[in-house]
Amino acid sequence: MSMTNEELAVKIQQGERDLIPELWEQVERFVKLLADRRLQRLPAGSGLESDDLYDAGYIAFMNAVERFNVERNASFITLLSMMLKTAFAEAGGYRSRRQQKDPLHHAVSLETPLTGEENYFLEDVIPDDRASAAFEDTERQVYLEQLRNELENALSALPDQQSDIIRRRFYNGDTLHAISQDMGTTQERVRQV
């Protein structure tokens, strides 16, 4: 003897996911029937096909399995019919007042072609702050590396004592006092060199 829809839904919720096909088989004709009825009521040229509603029906079925609560004393098929009504309405483009106010339903696709521009889309002109920052960081690192190379070239043309003092003072941040102590001379002499 096969289990009821409600028993199957409870077992699926308890982790027996292998029972999903069995429950689907028991309610599939119901889903197909409601999908065909909805399709007949849609205006001609709506763009929806039976398969679209059937797919939306399967998603509604899975939602009903997740939301079914045996303690509410409602049958699984009742919950499924409500979920199907919502799924079919959304598939047909109908939205509730709350959904109509949702900004995502009025958003423009990033794949919208730009007017007067071939092969350019909205996504091509929206700045990415993180990418810009990464590019600027890389650009700065390249600049600093080139600057350091040029400074090293210029320092290599100086006598060793002068280049050593400049490197210690401006690269290492050593004070004139510390350099003069190491060289055994005065701060004034270090500054002059």
Write out pLDDT tens, residues 111-153: 888 877 678 888 877 877 888 888 899 999 999 999 989 988 9
Q: Which CATH class is domain 129-192?
A: mainly alpha
Class of domain 5-105: mainly alpha
Per DSSP, the residues of 1-29 read -PPPHHHHHHHHHTT-GGGHHHHHHHHHH
Backbone φ and ψ for 94, nearest 5 degrees, come out as -85, 140
Q: Structural domain boundaries of the chain? A: 5-105, 129-192
Percent of the chain predicted with pLDDT > 90: 30
Interval 86-112 mean pLDDT: 73
Domains 5-105 and 129-192 share a fold: no
Token representation of residue 162: 């002068």
- 26-57 pLDDT tens trace: 999 999 998 888 888 877 766 778 788 888 89
